Structure 1
Amino acid sequence: MKRLKNFLFLLAAAPVVAFASGASIHLDKAPVNLSDQDSLQRGARMFVNYCLNCHSAGSMRYSRLQDLGLTEDQIKENLLFAGEKPGETMKVGMTKADGKAWFGATPPDLSVIARSRGADWLYTYLRSFYRDDTRTTGWNNVVFDKVGMPHVMWDLQGEMVPHYRKEGEHEVIDRLELAKPGSVTLAEYDAKVGDLVNYLVWMGEPAQVQRKQLGVIVLIFLAVFFVVAYYLKKEFWKDIH
């Protein structure tokens, strides 16, 4: 899907978020660090609590979260709430038909959403919801206009409202302003979204850290082998002119 063509400015730690129209959306850099297991564990908890009610992750098993340093007992006690078993995939009870009827479109599976959308897009999108009474859900999003998804984390962030300005014959969103505070500050909310996006990136390819580490080892081996092979070749061919 094509990104909407607006220019977006987000002031992460302030109660006002500014926007301006432009050729493309400015995406904030997501704080992705796949070596931070604490962040990944917090992100997994955010995913289960806020995303897994509607979105499935059919390619991920709960037991795979042991790769994040969680024990099976910790997974059972903190991440399984409806009788699931650790070996099961992350699926939801909501049918596709119900999802389409309630939201206008079936909520997509999020197994590889970070690889599809990109971490920066997700990080910006999840921080860009605002109140819009014209929408069925009561919410809209600067990054994804007329999105069917409601702002499921509004209790954390609070309610943002748009302020418009004239640009030619059209009105565009100039900024978002915090109208009703949530349970955490905007800076804390950004940190929570960062953990969630970090987890979504990891979930898209859980083996990528090991793959990159293995790749470095292979390159070092090839570099050492090249030196050995070079001098071995010189020894074999030293008497041939």
Structure 2
Amino acid sequence: MKKWIVMLLALLPSFGMAAGGNLHLDAANNDISDQASLQSGAKTFMNYCFGCHATQYQRYERVATDLGIPLDLMKENMIFDKDAKIGDLMTNSISTEYAAASFGAPAPDLTLVARVRGPDWIYTYLRSFYADPSRPFGVNNVVFPSVGMPHVLEELQGVPTKVYETRLVDGEEVKEYVGIESDGTGELNSDEYDEVVRDLVNFLEYSAEPVKLERQRLGWWVMGFIVIFFVLTLLLKKEYWRDVY
């Protein structure tokens, strides 16, 4: 019993961070049944995130099969460790010590991040970096202040800055934060960048629960069985109690 209490207390800070207080979160509106989106998200993850963040509870082969990626293409384009096999877990080579020294803390595994944080949190977070020369990597984040992570997608988005609007409050001008705006130096425009982030979030949601679609599909069959069983039970009850009524 004591062990379970300790585990629950250890998880409470994560749930608190996932909630994010009163922070407004943008809706990701992703769709894990969209295989093309999942493939795009996997590509982005492996090229921009996997250098630091592993998904060590997944296997390359399972991801390739679920996402409809031929195994030879998976090995050629998404497995960067020459010694890794297609059936291996998706771990990277960065050590905990090196990550802690470089970023101030070890880079967390992202297999279950969508279940801990939620897709909307991740989607908003990846679109909330802004230039901040006072920070070690020159960026900060509206969702996660004083973040120790660099803006790894900056080459796609460009240099992001905070945008403010001035409004009158009790006769005084007050600057109010309204969003993030890129300087246009990235490879993608705003809509394209949002789509790339949405695909990445889609992949992370899939990673957190690869059987979600199968679970939902089986759920309909279970509900159908319950309905049929209920009808049969009702008819049987009427048959048994026919003489009484």
TM-score, with structure 1 as normaliser = 0.85
Equivalent residue in structure 2 for 1:209, among 210, 213, 217:
213
What does residue range 168-207 of structure 1 map to in structure 2 within 5 Å?
173-207=177-211
Q: CA deviation at 1:36?
A: 0.5
What does residue range 45-124 of structure 1 map to in structure 2 within 5 Å?
45-65=43-63, 66-83=65-82, 84-124=84-124
Q: CA deviation at 1:164?
A: 5.6
Whether 1:143 aligns to 2:147 is: no
Q: CA deviation at 1:180?
A: 4.5
| Cα contact 1:43–1:199 (8 A) shared by 2 | yes
**Pairwise CA RMSD:** 2.4
Alignment CA distance shift 1:113-1:202 (3 Å): same
Map of 1:39 onto structure 2: 37
Q: Give the structure with the higher percent helix.
A: 2
Residues in 2 aligned to 1:206 and 1:135: alpha-carbon distance in whole angstroms: 36
| Cα contact 1:31–1:198 (8 A) shared by 2 | no
Residues in 1 aligned to 2:198 and 2:95: alpha-carbon distance in whole angstroms: 29
Alignment CA distance shift 1:200-1:172 (3 Å): same
> What's the % identity of the aligned pairs?
44
Q: Deviations over 1:173-222 (max 9, x none)?
A: 45433224201111100000000001100110000110011011101111
Equivalent position SS for 1:161: strand
| Cα contact 1:3–1:25 (8 A) shared by 2 | no
Q: Deviations over 1:64-88 (max 9, x none)?
A: 1111212212211221122221111
| Cα contact 1:3–1:143 (8 A) shared by 2 | no
Residues in 2 aligned to 1:178 and 1:137: alpha-carbon distance in whole angstroms: 17
Deviates more, 1:114-123 or 1:70-79: 70-79
Letter in 2 for 1:102: S
| Cα contact 2:18–2:118 (8 A) shared by 1 | no
| Cα contact 2:19–2:117 (8 A) shared by 1 | no
Residues in 1 aligned to 2:99 and 2:116: alpha-carbon distance in whole angstroms: 21
Deviates more, 1:226-235 or 1:139-148: 226-235
Q: Deviations over 1:21-63 (max 9, x none)?
A: xx82111100221111110111111111111100011111111
Unmatched runs of 5 consecutive residues or more in structure 2: 1-13
| Cα contact 1:160–1:177 (8 A) shared by 2 | yes
Map of 1:27 onto structure 2: 25
Map of 2:4 onto structure 1: none
Q: Deviations over 1:98-136 (max 9, x none)?
A: 101000111100010000011001000001111111111
Residues in 1 aligned to 2:114 and 2:233: alpha-carbon distance in whole angstroms: 42
Aligned length, in residue pairs: 224
